[in-house]
A and B are shown apart, each in its own frame.
Chain A
Amino acid sequence: MLNRRDFLKTAGLAAAGAMAVSGCATTGRNGARGHIVVVGGGFGGATAAKYLRMWSNAGVDVTLVERNAEFVSCPMSNLVIGGYRQMSDITVSYANLRDRHGVRLLRDEVTAIDAAAQKIRLAKNGELKYDRLILSPGIDFMIGAVGGLEGNLETIPHAWKAGPQTALLRQQLEAMPDGGIFAMHIPKAPFRCPPGPYERACMVASYLKMHKPRSKVLVLDANGEIQSKKALFTKAFETHYKGILEYLPNNELRSVDAKTRTAMLDFENVKANVLNVIPPQRAGQVTSMLDVPLINDRWVDVDWLTMEAKGVERVHVLGDALFPAPTMPKSGHMANQQAKVAAAAILNLLAGEPPNGEPVVMNTCYSYVDPKAVVHVASVHQYDATKNTFLPVKGAGGLSPAANELEAKYAASWAKNIWADMLA
């Protein structure tokens, strides 16, 4: 444990380092000064780090704590599983945040948060003082909810956090014999990326149709129906993948047997050649270090004007970890939008000004139903001051009328632009 003197020393060094970064920087337009620590370099955290520096004209110091060496994108990762993209296509460096934007990068993990003292403890880099803390931890899995899954994620991958798990599921699919069964399980909502599992089913079926046409995709859904873009995915299942893909709603997974890759459901057991279980999810574990109860023991409640966690001052939380506003999806796009709300609010607050009272966020989500055809869902959410939350605008948003090739172009462009918006 650090004693008080050690801590002061560490804090002093951190402050000196911070000054070195910002020593020649001009004061931000609205005069915000201070040190913001961002934990988690995904769609929310990376965007927040960049925009805090950009919008303050480098007036505030920003440290990004991230455990992985590179960013790997969940959006587009289903294309890697289908064999239509490589891992390198969905991997982006953090270097620009440091070199272009002056963000201090720490490859580390948080081991404790002391919100009263405004400091966090890191596994490798000691303690870090902050004026504002942003947690963008994404989701963690409730592995224990599925019997037999613990310790078997190499045999039964989730591939629901992009990275080695994505490559692993692709390898398993490639190694599967023609005539084999690829079974995937979708947990009860809410989960990260509502259309994601159905897009994955399409990408796997597309690969099998082309390369192993005697095989089957079984989509075992704990939910009663497809959770997003229902009509569009139903059409894809029934037309593109008729005879290859079978969608089975109301099938909640109880346990698995890793040795035989068998899924034990309520009414039957399914033995598969490749078993892809997407486990139930909750806010990333770091949120349990805040001294507040999570909603349903799973999600963080925030003040939407500032993204500040309810019950903890100066700690802001973004992205999939949140208990969402009405109809707000758990998506990378939405985390990016929330990050900008938080960045703007934090810069105002550090300058002694109130946060923007009328923020807007919007969501665009493209899904591939085959390698060349894409469908979208979009929504716009305006802040409602009487209800203190974001509400979807009636008459706005909606779906593609049908899968189409033009939107495949836009989907690829979306990925390029959002990755650049976070990391370039």
Chain B
Amino acid sequence: MHLHKYERIWLMFGGASLVVFLAVIGITAFFMGDQPPSGAFCAPVFANADTVDPEKVTETPPFNEPGIKKVGENQYVVTMVAYSFGFQPSNIEIPAGAEVYFQVTSKDVVHGFEIPGTNVNMMITPGYVNTIRYTFDEPGNYLILCNEYCGVGHQFMSTTVEVK
């Protein structure tokens, strides 16, 4: 098959771009630990299963005691329950520079968990525990909000993280 010189050029350009894109994603995923939120993501910190009976959330550890727990040098675990229409615990305080692991589940419907301006953004599905890690380097007030329409009070479903 005869290939025009220009065709060879753009095929090579396309192929090389694909290789670069996949290499960058591969390096960040396997060597830098960038992974999408999931129950298994924070495995070094949590030993929990990534599922929970949605009807028994309030009786199942660790969700029977939602709150902040210090687990290491400047390392915290925030155990959170999302419900219609709020987050428990609300208005969290965290020292600046802390590495925070959020483990969140829902006791009713699907909720969202987003901190605008950061990469923290995950779906909270009843029956599943979703986890994400974030380091709060900058002091200030961070908003946590639900970004999945969950009912008539959805627009009120938010809380804050105070980093100081």
Whether chain B is bound by chain A comes out as: no
Please report A residues at the B interface, Cβ cutoff 8 Å: none
Please report B residues at the A interface, Cβ cutoff 8 Å: none
